[in-house]
Structures are given as structure tokens and as C-alpha cells.
């Protein structure tokens, strides 16, 4: 059981890193801070393919906030809750 908890914890940590990268790349693309090269397009497409299945349902449920997307923040809070509260308490129980 501890191996499974460690695996879930590492996957949540990895997803957090991917989500941070997706947010940064999205900001850079939208602000046109960097040239939209084919390599960046591939990287952006890959990140969106991994993050959009989680972010899109949350984005649909959040109220309109004037162009600011808080869906990634909601996912960060959910991941924090899962890692700190749920996994820690399950690990203590095992």
C-alpha cells in the first residue's frame, strides 16, 4: 500500500509541474512575449492535451471573471488537498 501512495503522490507532483509549465507557456503565447515557433507550438499542444481534460470542466463551472482563468488555481488547490490531507491521512492509517 505505501508504494501505491508514493506512486499517486509522485503523479500528482508531476502533474503540478506540467500544469505550471502549461500556465507559463499559455501566458507567453497569449502575451506574444515570444515568437510562436513550430517547436513552441508542439510543446504548447502537448501541454494542452494533458491539462485541458482537467481544466475544461472546471473552467465551465467557474463564473466569468473578466478574462482571468482561475481553473489552474482550482486544480492546484485540489492537488494540494489530495497530497496534504488525503494522502497524509491514508499513509498514517496504513
- For residue 51, count CB atoms less than 10 angstroms from its CB and return exposed for 0-12, middle for 13-18, buried for 19 or more: buried
pLDDT confidence band for 1 (50 / 70 / 90): low
pLDDT tens digit string along 13-35? Answer: 999 999 999 999 888 888 877 76
* Alpha-carbon separation of residue 18 from 13, 46, 52, 67, 72 (angstroms): 9, 10, 11, 22, 11
Distance CA 68, CA 12 (A): 24
Q: pLDDT at position 91, please?
A: 73
pLDDT tens digit string along 46-84? Answer: 999 999 999 999 999 988 788 788 999 999 999 999 988
Q: The pTM is what? A: 0.84
Amino acid at each position: 500500500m505505501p508504494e501505491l501512495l508514493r506512486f499517486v503522490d509522485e503523479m500528482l507532483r508531476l502533474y503540478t509541474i506540467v500544469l505550471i509549465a502549461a500556465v507559463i507557456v499559455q501566458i507567453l503565447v497569449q502575451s506574444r512575449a515570444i515568437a510562436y515557433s513550430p517547436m513552441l507550438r508542439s510543446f504548447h499542444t502537448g501541454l494542452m492535451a494533458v491539462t485541458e481534460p482537467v481544466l475544461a470542466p472546471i473552467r465551465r463551472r467557474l463564473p466569468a471573471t473578466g478574462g482571468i482563468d482561475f481553473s489552474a488555481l482550482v486544480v492546484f488547490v485540489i492537488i494540494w488537498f489530495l497530497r496534504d490531507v488525503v494522502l497524509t491521512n491514508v499513509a498514517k492509517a496504513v
